[in-house]
């Protein structure tokens, strides 16, 4: 792998990784599952080809939880940091959690997805489009 574009780590530093290349488009997901998995109003996730992700340490410690059929949330068992999500129907693609990046993302969010499931205490979409389900600019990415 050549020089990484992005680097990231979990809160305790056990899991460290590099991502080569650009991140896919991203937005904010307000679905109930993402809110529960993150403990906040929404998640910010970007698609990455699995082959472009290289773990520097801690890959063997990652734990997986099947949050719904075929959808796995992967996290650090020590500090609980969410690392990525992977799905059976998109092999070779992961959805990296942008909050764990140690480098700048270098892009802006594109949309709010699953707005109909948003937390009742969050209601500011800013100037981004809002979608009741998947945002077209994000789906399948």
Q: What is the pLDDT of residue 31?
A: 93
DSSP 85: E
Q: What is the pLDDT of residue 22?
A: 87
Q: What is the pLDDT of residue 135?
A: 85
**Strand pairing report for 16-19 and 53-57:** antiparallel
Question: What is the tens place of the pLDDT at every residue in 25-80?
Answer: 999 999 999 999 999 999 999 999 999 999 999 999 999 999 999 999 999 999 99
The domain locations on the chain are 6-117
Question: What is the tens place of the pLDDT at every residue in 81-138?
Answer: 999 999 999 999 999 999 999 999 989 999 999 999 999 999 999 999 999 998 887 6
> pTM above 0.95?
no
CA dist., res. 17 & res. 23, Å (int): 14
Q: How confident is the model at residue 141 (pLDDT cuts 50, 70, 90)?
A: very low
Question: What is the tens place of the pLDDT at every residue in 123-137?
Answer: 999 999 999 998 887
- In terms of DSSP H, where are the helices of 17-122? 32-38
Q: What is the pLDDT of residue 4?
A: 66
Compute how many other C-beta atoms are within 10 angstroms of the C-beta atom of residue 138. Answer: 23
CATH class name, domain 6-117: mainly beta
């Amino acid at each position: 792998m050549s020089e990484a574009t992005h680097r990231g780590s979990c809160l305790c530093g056990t899991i460290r990784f590099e991502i080569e290349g650009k991140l896919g488009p991203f937005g904010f997901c307000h679905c109930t599952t993402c809110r529960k998995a993150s403990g906040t109003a929404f998640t910010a996730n970007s698609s990455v080809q699995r082959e472009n992700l290289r773990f520097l340490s801690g890959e063997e410690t990652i734990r997986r939880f099947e949050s719904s059929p075929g959808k796995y949330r992967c996290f650090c068992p020590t500090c609980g940091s969410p690392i990525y999500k992977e799905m059976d129907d998109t092999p070779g693609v992961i959805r990296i959690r942008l909050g764990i990046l140690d480098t700048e993302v270098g892009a802006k969010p594109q949309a709010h997805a699953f707005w109909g499931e948003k937390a009742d205490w969050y209601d500011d979409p800013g100037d981004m489009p809002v979608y009741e389900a998947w945002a077209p600019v994000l789906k399948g990415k």
